[in-house]
Amino acid sequence: MQHRSKRALVAILAWAMICVAGYFGYQYLLNQQFARAEEQRTQAQAGLASIQDLSTAFRQVGKIVEPTVVNIQVTRKAPIARRQMDPDLLRRFFRENEGDLQLPPDFEIPDDELSPEQIGTGSGVIVEYSGGKGYILTNNHVAGGAESFEITLNDGRKFRNVKVLGTDPKTDLAVIEMPADRLATAKWGNSDDVKQGDWILAFGSPFGYVGSMTHGIVSALHRQAGIITGGYENFIQVDAPINPGNSGGPLVNLRGEVIGINTAIASRDGGFQGIGFAIPSNQAKFVYAQLKEKGKVVRGWLGVRITDVAEELKVAKSYHYEGNTGVIVEDIMPGTPARGKLQPGDIITKIKGKEVANTQELRNAIAAIPPGTQINMDVFRNGKQQELSIKLGEQPENVATIRRGRGGQPAPGETSNLSTLGIQVMTLTSELADRRGLDIKAGALITKVDRNSLAAREGLRPGDVITEIGNTAVNSAEDLGSALQKADLKKGVRLYVTTPQGSRFVFLSTER
């Protein structure tokens, strides 16, 4: 009996110890959970502090930039067709039925169809102050063609005695001079340092609300939106709200530096839909300096017709070029800096040591270099890379006028039937070349192109002259026929084709 009592006592003690251990264990677990909850609260508070720090940064940037931003109100005669456009004449393009519709920036109608007056509003940024004068950078579509101005500063002062020093439709920029005192100036930033995902702030006067600021991120870089006909587009794409009246205002980074000039939006209904475009500050700074000094922009010039490697990969590969980026030289304009330096079939890969991906990058790079500058250019030629040195010329006012000559119809004559390609050709004569306004004297002149043929699909037309097939010169219709007999059309052949408007490469293959 005594033995049983001892065992019961031991069991009771063991159970009591288990209960006590369980209690303290439970308390420990509760304490651990509480500690984790407290840690999470602390982290959340730290996160809120970080967000507050960002808000503080936004406020500080506003204090730095806002005094440099101006509201620009203009009056101009306006076409009746444009009366319903938004006040700042902000360029937009709309997508409808799978096609882009755009009012051309050079649209004109007779003066008797102009309305008496149109009032528009936009923005600008003071980028320089010297000699009692402030210099404002804005958009050409804000200031260009204006008959009168009223500029309102952040402190409420208004100025009407202003002068447009110059406009540049090719980049949609303009510079205004304004006599004034006590002006704050913006600080330039380096747009080459801008990266996708960077925080940005956009300033301006949307819908006339002076002193507005919006924020967002950089959505993309090097955008070509097809907004500036024949111009130089290299836009920064942002998602910061940009509305009518923001045109010409600055786009800045979190240091308050100007990295772009707000210019346009992409929209289906005319309102902001998350895609805005700004001109990079490095491009704007180059244009500003020239407009202020000369009243116009003087650009470097090569004098070549070019196409993207990415669009003509078969042509590039026919030269044994393995890359996917670069620019193919298709033609050299007569009397230009590239004459005697570059040649058709060259693939330009770098300018001044910097890679060139496409024609837009090449055009922008050359245009931003002063005429007379000797530049180094990397070119793929004859199966290997080589470096050329070329002295740039000055871009003519109208590049489109520099062509090979007039048109004309080919005369009838004996033809060689090339049924595989779907063309008929004849040997080019000096008389035919003169009549066509061509500066070549030999080749195979296309006299007929069959509908839906291989040649028609690749854009060959009667009057085109084939001067090369692969690396072989074509001096006659017989030369072309002989070369085609040896060619493997399944692998494809590269033709060099000349017209009065210039020359280009065409790649023909029976395998699609």
How far from chain centre, in Å, is Cα 319?
28
Coil vs helix vs strand at 428:
coil
E-only strand ranges, 249-363: 250-252, 257-266, 276-280, 300-301, 304-308, 327-332, 347-351, 354-355
How far from chain centre, in Å, is Cα 441?
39
The answer to whether residues 87 and 119 touch, using CB atoms and an 8 Å cutoff, is yes
Residues annotated catalytic, as ranges: 141, 172, 247
Q: Which helix (H) or strand (E) holds 125?
A: strand 114-130
How far from chain centre, in Å, is Cα 198?
18
DSSP readout, 430-478? HHHHHHHT-S---SEEEEEE-TTSHHHHTT--TT-EEEEETTEE--SHH
Q: Which amino acid is at 282?
A: N
| Spatial separation of the C-alpha atoms in residues 199 and 254, rounded to whole Å | 7
Residue 323, C-beta contacts closer than 8 angstroms, at least 6 positions apart: 309, 316, 347, 349, 380
Residue 436, C-beta contacts closer than 8 angstroms, at least 6 positions apart: 405, 406, 407, 408, 410, 463, 465, 500
E-only strand ranges, 282-409: 300-301, 304-308, 327-332, 347-351, 354-355, 374-381, 384-391, 393-394
| Spatial separation of the C-alpha atoms in residues 226 and 233, rounded to whole Å | 8
Alpha helices in 66-162 (DSSP H): 140-143
Q: What angle do CA 277, 106, 173 make, to 5 degrees?
A: 40
